[in-house]
């Protein structure tokens, strides 16, 4: 018996091949003391080559490896967002204790491994590659969250993410198994055809509907959709901030890619059954995320709840089931990447300056002390709030337009209501940044007092035995850097992210055309 080997399109696979080769090189250089210091440069070079391969394939639409992967506009656009996010995370990791304590090559290897999973996930066209890519994305992230060994919160966040992520993966796997049982296929197009050929009895079959619900729940865990969001604020706050940055933006881009492809390709015959479910999840997420963010004093926790609300906005683009909805989703994802990278870069700078304090109060007076840092954070907050002239405003406008055109007007109203609620906590940050710093006892400014309080808290935790014995004798923060606001690799991403947010808010057409590449890829399945 002979078997025909699948035709392999090496050009289409070039982004995955380049990432895999770069990952192997980055891990192996750790063996050689003379070159291991070049690990970050090699990782950035790997991402640059991957981005080049993705741009080389721009406009390509082809099935790869017997159809288990597909490269098209959706995969290319969202993979580019992932690669940019990873590059910024590597820059922000320079000098970070998590990278030093985990071993730089190991840290970078885990990061590139997660990027590889994300790129594969954007291209997944079969439930087997879907699940394998999702686990390749997730497992390195579990480890990365716990890489700051001197902070209990980091170790705790890694464990929480592992437990909750495993529950989400198990739920997703059961759902995929049920969908396979109902459709008798593993390829997304074949699943869609199986449901279409099965008629109304199969479309209303309880096994299939439970499977669809479990897949929705599993993916909701991954993208922080309420009520499956409980892990998000704790993990965002506890994980090293460069890891949080990467996780907040890149994971959403990759997970929404497969969310879109699976529901609008494989499950499009079932749209009348799942659209109401996803709409309810989107509305719940908008309310829970915005209300939860109101009382937060930690900037990272606040952005965690903000991410929950933002995921609700993005989910509306899938609910409507139209090409305009996909375009709006990808546009908003791109804007979300820019504005969050700016915000988290400023948080990294503040943590380095103030002894790992991300308290909003520590930002008081930042506008007078360092306007170059304060302006990117201000622009990011205004963009996340959806105020003009920012890309966040244009993105929400497109999402609202897509919902109204598809007769989901009440979802558009929910986006507007969520935006109004969010003004309370985003503008609170802006007000704090530009508030005059008051002298504290001892002649310190408020920001300086906050830094000292953070250091005292760390000292107390060590004295009380609240840290693991193996590290209890360590200094609270040997990586503190008062000059962090002048480091190009920290301030650069903040300024570029803020500049992109303003540019695409004033001149949105290039980003609109970028997003339309994704919508065109699904034109055969959506209206």
Decide: 188 and 182 in contact? Cβ < 8 Å: no
8 A C-beta contact, residue 265 and residue 179: no
pLDDT value for 455: 44
Residue 357: pLDDT band with limits 50, 70, 90: low
The model's pTM is 0.89
Instruction: List own/partner pairs for 287-290 with CB under 8 A and 24 or more apart.
Output: 287/226, 287/414, 287/418, 288/226, 288/227, 288/229, 289/226, 289/229, 289/418, 290/418, 290/421, 290/422, 290/425
Min mean pLDDT across 113-117, 182-186, 396-400 is at: 182-186
Give mean pLDDT, residues 343-353: 88
Per-residue pLDDT tens digits for 176-216: 999 999 888 999 999 999 988 877 777 788 888 999 999 99
- The pLDDT of 272-295, averaged and rounded, is 93
Q: Please report the pLDDT score of residue 122 as a whole number.
A: 94
List the domain range (segments joined by +) for residue 150: 14-521
The confidence band for 410, taking pLDDT boundaries of 50, 70 and 90, is very high
69 pLDDT above the threshold of 80:
yes
- 378 inside domain: yes
The answer to whether residue 374 sits within a structural domain is: yes
**Do the domain assignments include residue 191?**
yes
Q: Are 398 and 328 in contact (CB under 8 A)?
A: yes
Q: Pick the residue with more confidence: 40 or 477?
A: 40
* Nearest CA-CA partner of 225 in 137, 157, 287: 287
The more confident residue out of 39 and 509 is: 509
Q: Is residue 510 part of a domain?
A: yes
pLDDT of residue 466: 42
Confidence of residue 19 (pLDDT cuts 50, 70, 90): very high
What average pLDDT does the segment 289-311 reach? 92
CB 324 within 8 A of CB 405: yes
Q: Is residue 4 part of a domain?
A: no
Check residues 148 and 276 and name the one with the higher pLDDT. Answer: 276
**Would you say residue 25 has pLDDT above 70?**
yes
Please check whether residue 217 lies inside any domain of the structure.
yes
Residue 5 belongs to a domain: no
Domain count across the chain: 1
Most confident of 34-43, 166-175, 462-471: 166-175
The pLDDT, as a whole number, for residue 469 is 38
Task: Please check the confidence at residue 331 and state whether its pLDDT lies above 60.
Answer: yes
pLDDT tens for each residue of 451-462: 444 444 444 443
Site of tokens 């497992």? 139
pLDDT, average across residues 144-164:
84
């Amino acid at each position: 018996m002979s078997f025909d080997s699948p035709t392999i399109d090496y050009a289409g696979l070039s982004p995955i091949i380049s990432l895999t080769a770069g990952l192997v090189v980055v891990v192996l250089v750790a063996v050689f003391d003379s070159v291991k210091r070049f690990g970050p440069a090699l990782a950035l070079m790997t991402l640059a080559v991957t981005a080049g391969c993705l741009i080389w394939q721009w406009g390509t639409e082809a099935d790869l490896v017997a159809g288990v992967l597909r490269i098209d506009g959706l995969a290319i656009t969202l993979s580019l967002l992932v690669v940019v996010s990873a590059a910024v995370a590597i820059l922000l990791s320079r000098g970070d204790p998590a990278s030093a304590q985990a071993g730089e090559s190991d840290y970078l290897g885990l990061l590139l491994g997660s990027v590889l999973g994300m790129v594969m996930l954007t291209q997944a066209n079969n439930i087997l590659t879907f699940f394998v890519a999702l686990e390749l994305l997730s497992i390195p992230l579990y480890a990365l969250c716990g890489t700051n060994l001197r902070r209990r919160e980091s170790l705790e966040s890694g464990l929480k993410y592992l437990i909750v992520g495993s529950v989400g993966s198990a739920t997703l796997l059961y759902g995929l198994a049920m969908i396979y049982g109902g459709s008798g296929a593993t390829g997304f197009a074949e699943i869609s055809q199986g449901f279409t050929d099965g008629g109304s009895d199969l479309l209303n079959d309880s096994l299939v509907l439970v499977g669809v619900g479990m897949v929705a729940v599993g993916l909701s865990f991954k993208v922080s959709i309420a009520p499956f969001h409980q892990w998000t604020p704790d993990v965002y706050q506890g994980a090293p901030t460069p890891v949080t940055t990467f996780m907040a933006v890149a994971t959403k881009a990759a997970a929404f890619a497969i969310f879109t492809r699976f529901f609008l390709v494989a499950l499009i015959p079932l749209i009348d059954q799942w659209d109401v479910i996803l709409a309810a999840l989107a509305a719940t997420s908008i309310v829970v995320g915005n209300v939860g963010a109101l009382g937060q004093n930690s900037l990272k926790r606040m952005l965690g709840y903000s991410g929950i609300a933002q995921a609700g906005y993005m989910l509306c683009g899938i609910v409507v089931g139209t090409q305009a909805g996909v375009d709006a989703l990808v546009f908003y994802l791109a804007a979300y990447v820019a504005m969050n990278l700016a915000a988290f870069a400023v948080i990294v700078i503040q943590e380095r300056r103030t002894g790992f304090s991300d308290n909003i109060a520590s930002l008081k007076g930042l506008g007078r002390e360092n306007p170059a840092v304060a302006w990117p954070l201000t622009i990011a907050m205004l963009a996340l709030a959806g105020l003009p002239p920012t890309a966040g405003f244009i993105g929400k406008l497109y999402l609202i337009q897509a919902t109204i055109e598809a007769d989901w007007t009440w979802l558009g109203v929910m986006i507007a209501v969520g935006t109004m609620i969010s003004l309370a906590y985003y503008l609170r940050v802006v007000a704090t940044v530009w508030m005059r710093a008051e002298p504290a006892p001892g002649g310190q400014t408020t920001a300086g007092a906050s830094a000292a309080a953070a250091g005292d808290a760390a000292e107390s935790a060590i004295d009380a035995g609240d840290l693991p014995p193996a590290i209890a004798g360590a200094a609270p923060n040997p990586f503190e850097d008062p000059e962090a606001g002048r480091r190009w690799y920290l301030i650069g991403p903040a300024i570029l992210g803020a500049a992109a947010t303003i540019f695409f808010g004033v001149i949105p057409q290039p980003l609109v055309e970028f997003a339309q590449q994704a919508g065109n890829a699904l034109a055969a399945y959506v209206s």
